[in-house]
Amino acid sequence: MPNHLASETSPYLLQHVDNPVDWYPWGDEALALARARNKPILLSVGYSACHWCHVMAHECFEDAEVAAAMNRDFINIKVDREERPDIDQIYQTAHYMLTQRSGGWPLTLFLTPDQKPFFGGTYFPKTPRHSLPGFLDLLPRVAEAYHTRGADIERQGTSLLKSFANMLPSKSAAVPAFSEQPLDQALVELENRFDSTNGGFGEAPKFLHPTELEFCLRRYFATRNHGALRMATLTLQKMAEGGIYDQLGGGFCRYSTDPYWRIPHFEKMLYDNGPLLRLYADAWLATHDPMFERVVDETARWVMREMQPPAGNEPGKATSGGGYYSTLDADSEGEEGKFYVWERSEVAQLLPSEEYAVVALYYGLSSHPNFEHRHWNFEIAQPIANVALAVGISLEEARQRLASAQESLFSQRELRARPGRDEKILTSWNGLMINGMAHAGRVFGRRDWIQSAARAVDFIRTTLWKNNRLLATYKDGKAHLNAYLDDYAFLLNGLLELMQAEFRRADLEFAVALADVLLEQFEDPAEGGFFFTSHDHEKLIHRPKPGHDNATPSGNGIAASGLQRLGHILGESRYLQAAERTLALFYPTISRYPSACCSLLTAHEESLFPPQLVILRGPGQALKEWEDALRVGSPYTLVFALPLELIDLPLSLSKPAGVNNTVNAWVCHGVKCLPAITDVHELLRICEIHGKIGAPFYN
């Protein structure tokens, strides 16, 4: 018999619809049933692309014996962490409190009927293995503990709720004096964790850390700190050369299992690749290294090819309009990485011998297999110039052979059984990708990338924006779930980036509407800062106010940045004051743990040194020439090119064109602007002077 998941939109929940486990989605029905039957809740949290989620599903949830034990003693609730990050945040934190170990997915927690966790872990095998208890042995012991140790469990639950409350930041009695000290300290901490040989921060498993890398690049552009630049560019280089990057199809996997970026867990996440598009574009601005430009191009092409439906598909039909899909699975045909890895003989048979000679050296096929002792996951083993020398051909000939081989290998790979794709549209992750695509499109002058971002915005505005509120997710014609802080904050910042690539009045109006909901529904008016859930959200056992960055940036950091920038653009003090209250609340946190709060540090930096704003006004073609001249400047100068036909602009943006319909430019900090500039070379000189941190500003 099917369980209670059949009407869900989440592909992850639908993967479990035919389990013998009597799964419920999170909701009133399951919670009421737990109370009525006095049964503990078995909460299982995961996502569709998660390899170990699949493993536990095959070993436990598809097993009749395990399912019988689960159904007898528990109310079983399955949650997609991507649709319900509110629940995931709470119970990942609870898992750490209970076990003093980092969580992950699958997350397996046992709750009382009033949602208080009392025991848990992550992955459990059916029978004991690798020092892990067997799930089949564990289930009756947990059920017995719930019924026989109720007083102890209640005391533990009360203590845990107090710990949750103590985690919320509290406002200082005195307003803190903001300084650059946290910015400097964060760099010191990152240098101490930096792997100076392989790039990245910390040991294996090695995650991508885009917020930390962006902070390093910001420090370079602001202060010309070459140590910060090296941390960012070495990491980005090593990642691009490694197996964590799809050398044939573009795009990055979620993390590397080793320190060298060689072997990932193969799922590809939208939320990683959006920020990485921006990072590689900015790294190219800093270095003009062609590798960084190549990675941006390949990754953007992957996004448009595999993570966004083609233009012309309408919302509400079988496809998802212009929104970006969420993830690609790690597994295909039941094996992790099968779509991506190769046997040497397969490559040799497919390619002409002269192309194979190049590929074998370039991707390391002449060395030992790097994946499970029998397959090769492609990584760049040596520079193409070295390969050309070893084969005895010119560099240009080596590049041509490599390009031809890559095309053949990619075409052959396309014939394989593909990994599953989670086609739900998440507003927050779309905000990250809109930001990355629009920024990369602006840096490289790629109209197609900018249009891709604009299509995603239009889809969200028409499909996930209802009654002046955002919804969190869309799938198969259904948009639902009250949106979270990240949805509003990430989308607001994506809009601010898109408006610099292509200014559309509707996007500015949308940004203002999002900012207003942030203040009305998420801000804590007493203490400052933003809750993760809105004031009218479902009541859970905790209401987080997140400051630290995780796999995605801190919603408070991104909200403060977006509101601050919008406040400077429009001269709107409400937004600036909300950002200031947020920074004041979190300032003790960023002072103690600066490198864990790089998103908040970005907002903090811009509160100390407001971003330079350039407003261009003039006729279309001339305006584009001025835009192109500014593309290769600092990525943290805000540039708005406003064609003459735009009318009824806010006062702060409503500037006249030059005489005889020439271009006028204004360089501003907030609403304080220098006199109009009529020469593009003078504009570039002024931007160079006033774009530096701490440069004096006058009019």
Nearest alpha-carbon partner for 112 in 150, 161, 85, 71: 150
- What are the extents of the domains in the chain? 11-167, 181-331+421-608, 340-413, 612-690
* Cα 683–Cα 686–Cα 688 angle in degrees, nearest 5: 110
458-496 pLDDT tens trace:
999 999 999 999 999 999 999 999 999 999 999 999 999
Element (H, E) at 580: helix 573-592
179-218 pLDDT tens trace:
999 999 999 999 999 999 999 999 999 999 999 999 999 9
* Residues in the chain, pLDDT under 70: 1, 312-320, 690-699
Rounded CA separation 690/665 (Å): 14
**CA dist list (Å): 418 to 198, 332, 516:** 31, 6, 42
Per-residue confidence (pLDDT) for residue 173, from 0 to 100: 76
Per-residue confidence (pLDDT) for residue 692, from 0 to 100: 58
The tokens for 104 are 């992950």
Contact assessment for residue 437 and residue 449, using Cβ atoms and an 8 Å cutoff: yes
102-146 pLDDT tens trace:
999 999 999 999 999 999 999 999 999 988 999 999 999 999 999
Count CB-CB contacts under 10 A for residue 657.
19
Per-residue confidence (pLDDT) for residue 319, from 0 to 100: 46
Q: Return the bridge partners of 46, or none.
A: 80
Report DSSP letters for 622-655, one per residue: HHHHHHHHHTTS-TTSEEEEEETT--S--TTT--
Q: How does DSSP classify residue 357?
A: H
CATH, domain range 340-413: 1.10.10
pTM of the predicted protein model: 0.96
Rounded CA separation 475/424 (Å): 5
Q: How does DSSP classify residue 530?
A: B
Rounded CA separation 473/138 (Å): 35
CATH 3.90.850.10 fits domain 11-167:
no
CATH, domain range 181-331+421-608: 1.50.10.10
Taking phi over 0 as left and psi of -120 to 50 as alpha, with beta for the rest, 664 belongs to beta
Per-residue confidence (pLDDT) for residue 620, from 0 to 100: 86
In whole angstroms, what separates CA 326 from the centre of its chain?
Answer: 10
